[in-house]
Amino acid sequence: MRKIVLLAAAAAMSMGLPAFSGSHGDGPVKAGFVYVGPIGDGGWTYEHHQGLLAVEEHFGDKVETVYQESVPEGADAERAMTQMALQGADIIFTTSFGYMDPTINVAANFPDVKFEHATGYKRADNVSTYSARFYEGRAVQGLIAGKMTKTNKIGYIASFPIPEVIRGINSAYIHAKKANPDVEISVIWVYTWFDPPKEADAAKALIDNGVDVVLQHTDSTAPQAAAAEAGVISFGQASDMSEYAPLPRVSSIIDNWAPYYIARVQAVMDGTWESVDTWDGIGPGMVEIGEITDAVPADVKAEAEALRDAIGSGEYHAFTGPLNKQDGSPWLAEGETADDGTLVGMNFYVEGVTGEIPN
């Protein structure tokens, strides 16, 4: 009996949903943001939230923003997005790779709402993707790391073995190796974007193994604190993390989403929004290199800044041959640069990186 009542109620409920549209005529444009971590993580989510604040500041009362933090990837993410769409969001930014399928699913239910998915590769008429060429920043970090290490061992705290992370490891290693042929890289996989105790443990494990430069592809500042304690060098990740400057943090990669977010909200206002795939780097300003501190010798700093500018102007590509894959098979010939297709799906290490990509 109970089940019949429930089913009947469910049938009644099911009416409106697909037909419901979140769009509305006049009034402010409503922008929603779905975050994978807390806005106070000091890294990835923090910078996306800075983008939200920039949108608010730029548009004033022409825009209304909502956000939800620490949203797990999966069924809960679909609900967070649906909720925003139901409540009239015109554009929704979903800011983690794991929101890819949920974004596509929800977007199919709300054809009038625009979706923007960060770091993914699935698009639809109302779903754009956007990401930053973090590997360009990794090249600059790799150069500094190679010059600064005394033990010739640099460590890398990696989150998940996805192409974005593997690109960063390769780019950092290639440029560290150029700066210092004796350099070795150790990678630790922590399988999380944000877990301060786990990140700190990984940093300590690397340092115990003789690493004196720590790079991280996770979102918290815990590795910075561990590096400070051990007296080794680190780099800010996603956000400047300048509270750890001048040491251990000697530079940083800053994700600057604000210009993109403002442009996309503007496009919704103007009615010119289209589904696009954006992948911007140092040149357009989506990736910024945080100040290189005085802990770095002046000549290294100058070299690093020259590399940054060469990448920014397009005169140098971070993946320029000759480069071999880890197994020694040739990848790029002398002077050849990697195409975006290969980079997007990168699932191999370059020659010289030790260890295996977990699978």
Partner 1 sequence: MIRLERRPAPSRAWAWATPLLAVLATMVAGGLLFAFLGKDPLLVIRTIFWDPILGEFAFYYRGQLLVKAGPLILIAIGLSLGFRAGVWNIGAEGQYIMGAICGAAVGLAFYPLEARWLIFPLMVLAGGLGGFLWAMIPGILRTRFNTNEILVSLLLVYVAEQILAWMALGPLRSPDGAGFPGSRNLRHYDSAANHELISGSGMHWGLVAAFIAVILGHVLLSRHILGFNIRLAGASPRAARFAGVNPGLLVLTCLGVSGALAGFAGLFEVAGPAGQINIDFNVGYGFTAIIVAFLGRLHPVGILLAGFLMALTYIGGEAAQATLGVPAAAIQAFQGMLLFFLLALDVMTNYRVRIDARARA
Nearer to partner 1, 64 or 305 (CB): 64
Q: Which of 124, 267, 295, 344 binds partner 1 (CB under 8 A)?
A: 344
Does the protein bind partner 1 through residue 4 (CB under 8 A)? no
Residue/partner pairs of 306-309 with CB below 8 Å, 24 or more apart: 307/139, 307/140, 307/143, 307/175, 308/140, 308/282
Q: Which of 70, 313, 337, 354 binds partner 1 (CB under 8 A)?
A: 70
End-to-end CA distance of the chain: 49
Stretch in the footprint of partner 1 (CB under 8 A) among 9-17, 51-59, 150-158, 293-301: 9-17
Q: Which of 23, 28, 64, 68 binds partner 1 (CB under 8 A)?
A: 68
Does the protein bind partner 1 through residue 231 (CB under 8 A)? no
Tell me phi and psi for residue 210, to 5 degrees.
95, 5
Does the protein bind partner 1 through residue 16 (CB under 8 A)? yes
**Nearest approach, Cβ of 6 to partner 1 (angstroms)?**
7
Residue/partner pairs of 348-351 with CB below 8 Å, 24 or more apart: 348/166, 349/166, 349/169, 349/170, 349/173, 349/325, 350/170, 350/173, 350/174, 350/323, 350/324, 350/325, 350/326, 351/323, 351/324, 351/325, 351/326
* Element of type H or E holding 63: strand 63-68
CA dist., res. 100 & res. 119, Å (int): 9
Residues in 186-225 that interact with partner 1 by CB under 8 A: 191
**Nearest approach, Cβ of 204 to partner 1 (angstroms)?**
19
CA dist., res. 319 & res. 308, Å (int): 14
Does the protein bind partner 1 through residue 73 (CB under 8 A)? yes
Return the DSSP state at 161. -
**Nearest approach, Cβ of 55 to partner 1 (angstroms)?**
15
Stretch in the footprint of partner 1 (CB under 8 A) among 81-89, 178-186, 263-271, 308-316: 81-89
* Residue 29, beta-bridge partner list: 63
Q: Which of 27, 74, 231, 314 binds partner 1 (CB under 8 A)?
A: 74
Q: Which of 42, 51, 142, 163 binds partner 1 (CB under 8 A)?
A: 163
Tell me phi and psi for residue 306, to 5 degrees.
-65, -40
Specify burial of residue 284 (Cβ count, 10 A radius: 0-12, 13-18, 19+): middle
Stretch in the footprint of partner 1 (CB under 8 A) among 134-142, 154-162, 264-272, 321-329: 154-162
Does the protein bind partner 1 through residue 161 (CB under 8 A)? yes
**Nearest approach, Cβ of 354 to partner 1 (angstroms)?**
19
CA dist., res. 226 & res. 54, Å (int): 32
Residues that contact partner 1, how many (by CB under 8 A): 49
Name the E strands within 147-282: 153-158, 184-189, 213-216, 233-236, 249-255, 277-280
Nearer to partner 1, 72 or 322 (CB): 72
Does the protein bind partner 1 through residue 6 (CB under 8 A)? yes
Does the protein bind partner 1 through residue 162 (CB under 8 A)? yes
Which parts of this chain interact with partner 1 (CB under 8 A)? 2-3, 6-7, 9-11, 13-18, 32, 38, 66-70, 72-76, 78-80, 82-84, 86-87, 97-98, 101, 105, 121, 160-163, 191, 344-347, 358-359
